[in-house]
Amino acid sequence: DFSLADYDYLPVSSEVRELFQHVKRYAPKTIEIEHKLQPFIPDFIPAVGDIDAFLKEEWWLVPRPDGRPDPLGLLVLDEPSTKQSDPAVLSLWLRENSRQHNVAQQVKVKSLENAEKNPRAIESWIESISELHRCKPPATVHYSRPMPDIESLMQEWSPEFEELLGKVRCPS
């Protein structure tokens, strides 16, 4: 709490004393901000690298009995990492969900070395793209003119038009 009596003894000018009066008169307004908490499950959970890649003891301090270097934890993991998202597929998901199809941006492209020796990666890619297409909403068409009434479209054809249809050969 501000009290002017605490500052009466200070050797200040009259302008500063007047400033203290303004401080005393000031009363802050309490503004209640409305908020709404809504639980949600995110569509994409970011994955940050391998979980246990470099957390091992330093392999050169504990040598193997045969004297060979042990790259465990540096080159070879001793446990499987979590399932990582493919950056190319994730980019396609994000582009599809944001509806930014014509934006000029770099698109990530997936490539495999020795693809014939890695059919599991190809099957995984096909499955992830199939999942992307399954979740895609159907295409919508925006007409420039309003569509005719369904009742007018369902009217019977005139006998002359039906006779003409009988004479004309339709392509098959």
Model confidence pLDDT, tens digit, residues 11-59: 888 898 888 888 888 888 999 988 888 887 777 666 655 554 444 445 4
Would you place residue 165 in the very low, low, confident or very high pLDDT band (cuts 50, 70, 90)? Answer: confident
Q: Each residue of 99-147: pLDDT tens digit? A: 666 666 667 677 888 888 888 888 988 998 898 888 877 777 788 888 8
Q: What pLDDT shows up at residue 27?
A: 84
DSSP string, 16-36: HHHHHHHHHH--PPP-PPP--
Is 0.75 surpassed by the pTM of this model?
no
Place of tokens 């465990």: 72
CA 115 to chain centre: 29
Taking a C-beta distance cutoff of 8 angstroms, is the pair 50, 81 a contact? Answer: yes
Q: Is 127 helix (H, G, I), strand (E, B) or coil?
A: helix
Instruction: Evaluate whether residue 160 is within a structural domain.
Output: no
Instruction: Evaluate whether residue 4 is within a structural domain.
Output: no
CA-nearest of 44, 23, 157 to 95 is 44
Q: Is 135 helix (H, G, I), strand (E, B) or coil?
A: helix
Half-sphere exposure of 151 (CA within 13 A, CB side): 0
Instruction: Evaluate whether residue 103 is within a structural domain.
Output: yes
Instruction: Evaluate whether residue 122 is within a structural domain.
Output: yes
- Category of 131 on φ-ψ map: left (φ > 0), alpha (ψ -120 to 50) or beta: alpha
Instruction: Evaluate whether residue 18 is within a structural domain.
Output: no
Count of domains observed in the chain: 1
d(CA 89, CA 111): 12
Would you place residue 75 in the very low, low, confident or very high pLDDT band (cuts 50, 70, 90)? Answer: low
Q: Is 72 helix (H, G, I), strand (E, B) or coil?
A: strand
Instruction: Evaluate whether residue 115 is within a structural domain.
Output: yes
Instruction: Evaluate whether residue 162 is within a structural domain.
Output: no
Give the residue numbers spanning the domain of 125. Answer: 87-135
Instruction: Evaluate whether residue 37 is within a structural domain.
Output: no
